[in-house]
Amino acid sequence: MADLPQRNDISTIAKPYLIFLGDVSDPLDAKTGLGIRQWRPQWCAAQYRLPGCEVDLGLPELAPAAAAAAGAKSLVIGIAPDGGRLPPHWRGVVLDALDAGLDIVAGLHSRLNADAEFAERARLRGRRLVDVRNPPQDFSPGSGAKRSGKRLLTVGTDCAVGKKYTVLALEQALHARGIAADYRATGQTGVLIAERGVAIDAVISDFVSGAAEWLSPANDAAHWDLVEGQGSLFHPSYAAVTLGLIHGSQPDAMVLCHEAGRATIGNFPDYPIPAWKDAIATYEAAARLTNRAARVVGISINTASLPEAEARAVIAATASETGLPCIDPLRFGCDAIADVLERL
Amino acid sequence: MADLPQRNDISTIAKPYLIFLGDVSDPLDAKTGLGIRQWRPQWCAAQYRLPGCEVDLGLPELAPAAAAAAGAKSLVIGIAPDGGRLPPHWRGVVLDALDAGLDIVAGLHSRLNADAEFAERARLRGRRLVDVRNPPQDFSPGSGAKRSGKRLLTVGTDCAVGKKYTVLALEQALHARGIAADYRATGQTGVLIAERGVAIDAVISDFVSGAAEWLSPANDAAHWDLVEGQGSLFHPSYAAVTLGLIHGSQPDAMVLCHEAGRATIGNFPDYPIPAWKDAIATYEAAARLTNRAARVVGISINTASLPEAEARAVIAATASETGLPCIDPLRFGCDAIADVLERL
């Protein structure tokens, strides 16, 4: 859009990072900070938290000036608040970080560059404001046309169930087997990890499927694009984003992600998590509009809340119930699904 | 979004209109001009067409200066090009109209107010640039919470099959019966007709269901909101918009709209129009996420391409096949569906 502020070059964000965690208590709200810490630990120099914060990345605790003195180059806002707006009481931290000589990196809907006070302070201090959620270009509506190459998309019973971690782990597993594969980031955290991609939920709704087509362009026949899923078709707020991403990605294979023990959609106690067979049927029906061969090829369960024996039992029971390979990619690896992809 | 240009007050657009039709040959591309002509003929003073235009609204043919001299106050761009961008060879008409003293009204994704040349010329001439597709405010993600009042949403086998005309006709029919009902516009043409609403396809994808919730707020228990549908769950480009609108509207009743004789999605010959039972099942499954009582209560078929006897036969056959009341609202009225709504 001609009216958006500057497009930021995500690939040139200054490192290492001071990760700001605000005063959040729920780790699900800190998924940007946790994701960068998990997948790009070498970029993480320190963390900064406000009183009341209950999330801990296990990094040195430094305020902006001390972090800058210790070599940090950018303050990354590690929180993804619902609605994507910066809480007013965090503004001082952003201004302090600019004064300390740090660039600011955020994946919020409310853009740093559109904030007159932040923009003026950044100009004064000669710092960059990087809006990771700002789409990297204009898009067109989806074409629905078939592209060469193979595509996997993670889909979920809910938000925040492991869709990003699953594709990142699968990318490692396929690379270890010598299979060409690219992680395709679709959220602010993933874009920061991959240093490319598009925060698909910030795209104008008419262009969501078109943006997804752009994200995984035609490729070699044997190449896998591993597309990070977003939201859930069972989520009353975000299913539109999910559906456009499915239609544009045209996945050959989907991996259905879930968090063990979650019975209702997060923050929506009246919205139940669907049964496996219903979730699989719903995603396959949706995906077959643009790829008639689309199917769910495996299940990925985040079992972090369970002791190991219980986790293994849940995974075995799910594999038995669905007839599909079932993994917890971080805990037990993802070979069972990588095997399927290697054969497809 | 703080970075968008000015929010336009849609309710104060200067009338009457000179409707610009460009050089389009397909009436489906002229649906904004045709819709205003159909539903607000008292606002239409003249039309202006470029060589090659094959659409005719039956209005006096006047260039901008002559239209202004005859009393027209605004040039309305009556075309909705795919992707929503103004063709470069139409720019001269916009500038001529500003020079002639007309305001400019457009429902494009590419905003008039974001165009430096248009903005400067409008400032010089003291004219307004009205971007009807610019959402009227910021939105939040959908809450999924139940609201009082009753809601009907039109859904379609495809785009451009009569979803807007059906709700506008139903509004007239319910008002004639003394039933409180409001048309809720969700596209650029509807917003121009109603002088309120939101072009839902221009909303950031994360907020589509939230915008739909805003559009049809809590109301009297007996009141009907008649929400204009957008796109189609069977369309590879626009299904995301459709799904978010369904989830936010939480329809109690849906009317499935179709154009007689259309066998494939417009411009997508590889995408078949679904069978009635599949279309009904797909829409009901999608809508029941946020309203478990949602159901398709009738079928609306645009039979304009058929002679009357054939049209009546198609309607009777569809009613028989689906077990639902079936109408062509413009040709034969919509009493059969109004009867259902009166009883609901």
Count of all residues that appear for chain B in the document: 344
Which runs of E-coded beta strand occur in B110-198?
A: 129-131, 150-156, 181-184
Encode pLDDT of A191-231 as tens digits.
999 999 999 999 999 999 999 999 999 999 999 999 999 99
Mean pLDDT score, B222-239 = 98
Residue A141 touches partner B, C-beta closer than 8 Å: yes
Q: In angstroms, what separates the C-alpha of B271 from chain A's closest C-alpha?
A: 8
pLDDT for B1 equals 31
**A69 to chain B nearest CA, in Å?**
34
Average pLDDT, stretch B85-106?
96
Confidence of residue A11 (pLDDT cuts 50, 70, 90): confident
pLDDT band at residue A243 using 50, 70 and 90 as cut-offs: very high
Contact criterion met (CB < 8 Å) for A114 and B3: yes
Query: A237 vs B210: CB contact, 8 Å cut-off?
Result: yes
Confidence label for B7 from pLDDT (cuts 50, 70 and 90) = low
For residue B329, the number of C-alpha atoms closer than 13 Å in the C-beta half-sphere is 26
Q: Note the pLDDT of residue B283.
A: 98
For the residues A49-54, what does the mean pLDDT come to? 96
With an 8 Å Cβ cutoff, are B240 and A234 in contact?
no
**Tokens in use for A229?**
């899923």
Q: Do B243 and A239 touch (CB under 8 A)?
A: yes
Q: Which tokens in the block code for residue B226? A: 């008649």
Gap from B42 CA to chain A (nearest CA, Å): 31
Same domain, B50 and B127: yes
Quick one: which H or E segment has residue B283? helix B276-287
> What pLDDT is stored for residue A10 in this prediction?
86
pLDDT of residue B8: 66
Segment B260-273 mean pLDDT? 96
B114 touching A (Cβ < 8 Å): yes
Please determine, for residue A30, whether its predicted confidence score (pLDDT) is greater than 70: yes
pLDDT of residue A1: 31
Instruction: Tell me whether residue A142 is in a domain.
Output: no
Record: contact A201-B202, CB cut-off 8 A: no
Mean pLDDT of all residues in A84-97: 94
Q: Is B109 on the interface with A (CB under 8 A)?
A: yes
Percent of chain A with pLDDT over 70: 97
pLDDT of residue A109: 87
C-alpha of B25 from chain center: 20
Q: How far is B190 from chain A (nearest CA, A)?
A: 17
Minimal CA separation from A5 to chain B, in Å: 7
Question: Domain of A220?
Answer: 150-343
A323 within a domain of the structure (yes/no):
yes
pLDDT tens track for B114-161: 999 999 999 999 999 999 999 999 999 999 999 999 999 999 999 999
A 297-336 → B contacts, CB under 8 A = none
Residue B3 lies in a domain: no
Q: Which residue from B1, B5, B240 is facing A244, i.e. has the nearest CB?
A: B240
Cross-chain residue pair B243–A243, CB shorter than 8 Å: yes
Nearest CA in chain A to B2: A114
Question: Mean of the per-residue pLDDT values for chain A?
Answer: 95
pLDDT tens-digit profile of B164-185?
Answer: 999 999 999 999 999 999 999 9
To the nearest whole Å, the CA of B5 is away from the closest chain A CA by: 7
Q: Mean of the pLDDT values across residues A125-137?
A: 94
Of A83, A236, A241, the CB nearest to B205: A241
Interface test with B, best of A205, A214, A267 (most B CBs within 10 A): A205
| A195: contact with B, CB 8 A cutoff | no
CA distances from A171 to A164, A225, A227, A334 (A): 11, 9, 10, 10
Are the C-beta atoms of B41 and B26 separated by less than 8 Å? no
* A317 burial level (CB within 10 Å; 0-12, 13-18, 19+): exposed
Q: Which of A64, A97, A131 is the last residue of a domain?
A: A131
Q: Are residues A271 and A169 in the same domain?
A: yes
pLDDT band for position A6 (cuts 50, 70, 90): very low
Clarify whether residues A27 and A163 are in a common domain: no
Cβ pairs A/B, distance under 8 A: 148
Are A69 and A197 in the same domain?
A: no
**Contact flag A205-B209 (C-beta cutoff 8 Å):** no
Quote the tokens at residue B113.
């107010």
Where a domain ends, among B97, B131, B165?
Answer: B131
Top residue of B206, B230, B245, B289 to mutate, by most chain A CBs within 10 Å, is B206
Residue B267 DSSP label? T
State the nearest Cα–Cα gap between B283 and chain A, in angstroms: 12
Question: DSSP for B73-109?
Answer: -EEEE----TTS---GGGHHHHHHHHHTT-EEEE--S
A197 in the same domain as A334:
yes
* Chain A neighbors of B114, CB-CB under 8 A: 1-3
B287 touches chain A (CB under 8 A): no
What is the rounded average pLDDT of the residues B97-101?
A: 98
State which H helix or E strand residue A337 sits in: helix A335-343
Q: What is the pLDDT of residue B28?
A: 86
> What is the nearest CA distance from A36 to chain B, expressed in angstroms?
22
Q: Distance between CA atoms of B29 and B43, rounded to whole angstroms?
A: 20
- Check CB contact under 8 Å for A289 and B234: yes
- Asked if residues B319 and B326 have their Cβ atoms less than 8 Å apart, the reply is yes
The per-residue pLDDT for range A296-308, each reduced to its tens digit, is: 999 999 999 999 9
Same domain, B118 and B164: no
> Does the interface predicted TM-score (ipTM) exceed 0.90?
yes
Mean pLDDT of A297-325: 98
CB contact under 8 A, A111 and B3: yes
pLDDT at A84: 80
Regarding whether B162 and B83 lie in a shared domain, the answer is no
For residues A160 and A29, give the distance between their C-alpha atoms in angstroms, rounded to a whole number: 9
Closest residue in B to A206 (Cα) is B201
How far is it, in rounded angstroms, from Cα B180 to Cα B182?
Answer: 7
CATH code of A246's domain: 3.40.50.300
Q: Which of A131, A159, A177 is the last residue of a domain?
A: A131
CB-based contact B180:B226 (threshold 8 Å): no
How many structural domains is chain B composed of?
A: 2
| Range among A11-15, B110-114, B240-244 rated most confident | B240-244
Whether B138 is in a domain gets the answer: no
Q: Report DSSP letters for A215-281, one per residue.
A: HS----TT-EEEEPP-S-TT-TTTHHHHHHHHHHH--SEEEEEEETT--EETTEEEEEPPPHHHHHH
For the segment A107-129, the average pLDDT, to the nearest whole number, is 95
Q: What is the pLDDT of residue A7?
A: 56
Do both B332 and B245 map to the same domain? Answer: yes
CB contact under 8 A, B209 and A237: yes
Helix (H) or strand (E) holding B320: helix B308-322
Using a CB-CB cut-off of 8 Å, the residues of chain B touching A292 are: none
Residues 3-22 of B with CB under 8 A from A: 3-5
Q: Are residues B101 and B184 in the same domain?
A: no
Considering only the beta carbons, identify the residue of A115, A140, A205 that sits closest to B83. A140
Q: Which helix (H) or strand (E) holds A17?
A: strand A17-22
- Which of the four pLDDT bands, split at 50, 70 and 90, describes residue B268? very high
Query: Which CATH number covers residue A87?
Result: 3.40.50.720
A206 and A60, same structural domain? no
User: In A, which residues are within 8 Å of B201 by CB distance?
Assistant: 204-206
Question: Residue B142's Cα: distance from chain center in Å?
Answer: 22
What's the pTM? Answer: 0.95
Contact map slice: A 55-94 vs B, CB within 8 A: 82-84
- Residue A297 has a CB neighbour count (10 Å cut-off) of 19
Q: Are residues A83 and A195 in the same domain?
A: no
| Residue A37 within any structural domain of the chain | yes
> Residues A254, A255, A261, A265: what is their CA dihedral angle, to the nearest 10 degrees?
-30
DSSP 3-state helix, strand, coil percentages of chain A (rounded to 5)?
A: 40, 20, 40
Residue B332 lies in a domain: yes
Are residues B200 and B318 both part of a single domain? yes
Output the pLDDT for position B84.
80
Among chain A residues, the shortest Cα distance to B205 is held by A205
Q: Is A296 helix (H, G, I), strand (E, B) or coil?
A: strand
Q: What is the mean pLDDT of residues B219-229?
A: 98
> What tens digit of pLDDT does each residue of B78-93 get?
998 767 889 999 999 9
Please give the average per-residue pLDDT across A74-102, as a whole number: 92
Which pLDDT does position B21 carry in this prediction? Answer: 97
Interface of A with B in 142-161 (CB under 8 A): 142-144
Residues A104 and A112: beta-carbon distance below 8 Å: yes
